[in-house]
Amino acid sequence: MIISPFKWTLLLVAIIAVQPILSTAVPESNEISDLQQSKRYKLVAFAFENLHRSLWPEELYPAMKNYLNDVKKWSDHDEMLQQSQYYVKIQQTLKTCLDLLEELSNHPFNCSQETALKAKHDTLKALFKSVESERCQQMWASKYLDFTLQMRTILRKSADKFYILLTAAVAAYDKSLDEVEEYEEVDILRWNERFIKETDFSRKQLLTIEFMGLFPDERNILESDCKIQYTNFL
């Protein structure tokens, strides 16, 4: 399923809309300890970790490695590209991307490595878009498109697995609540009713964003090491 530009716009708007509800102050150490023992924290920590894993699945690494190696092999032999003023920077950036990807493959789900790889790949994309030769731009764009199509399939399967895990986790959480807790956690229970009924993939993405927005204090702790992401924009 290809998500339309309109739906992507809705998704991005929802991401932005979630941000203001976050608490600006990090809880004190004793408050952090209490929060981490709570059922709410354990639930959102599980969701946080598995959402992260769904956006950077290990199945993605070989596809990206093949793409980068393919681009490098082509760039090593394309005389027109080699005449570009950006060629040296392209070669350097390709090497850095491959090195970062290798490190990430050896130590998956490393947030800082993911951020660095994305930033360096953004640089690579900008360089190719600046190349003087339109043919070279098109050659790279074709290779990048092939990769994004593979990535879309991988991420869709990964997201489906995450939704199954999240559904099971919230169901178990629901069963663990007593009557008083059910009253206190009504926001999660109401969200779960809508999430279970939803079948549209892009709407489930929006509901995932909404779910994470229900835990501002817990997210402040979780995001101290790794900012939450909702999409992989490689």
pLDDT tens, position by position, for the chain (234 residues)? 444 444 443 443 344 333 333 334 555 666 677 778 889 999 999 999 999 999 999 999 999 999 999 999 999 999 999 999 999 999 999 999 999 999 999 999 999 999 999 999 999 999 999 999 999 999 999 999 999 999 999 999 999 999 999 999 999 999 999 989 888 899 999 999 999 999 999 999 999 999 999 999 999 899 888 888 887 778
**CB neighbours of residue 39 within 10 Å:** 13
Instruction: Check residue 192 and give its pLDDT.
Output: 93
How is residue 122 written in tokens? 């953004």
**CB neighbours of residue 152 within 10 Å:** 14
Question: What is the C-alpha separation between 51 and 108, in angstroms, rounded?
Answer: 14
Instruction: Check residue 29 and give its pLDDT.
Output: 63
Instruction: Check residue 36 and give its pLDDT.
Output: 81
Instruction: Check residue 28 and give its pLDDT.
Output: 60
Instruction: Check residue 26 and give its pLDDT.
Output: 52
**DSSP-assigned states of every residue in 132-181:** S-HHHHHHHHHHHHHHHHHHHHHHHHHHHHHHHHHHHHHHHHHHH--HHH
Question: What is the C-alpha separation between 28 and 12, in angstroms, rounded?
Answer: 32
Residue spans per domain, the chain: 40-223
Instruction: Check residue 233 and give its pLDDT.
Output: 74
Q: Is 210 left (phi over 0), alpha (psi -120 to 50) or beta?
A: alpha
Instruction: Check residue 27 and give its pLDDT.
Output: 56
Question: What is the C-alpha separation between 224 and 234, in angstroms, rounded?
Answer: 23
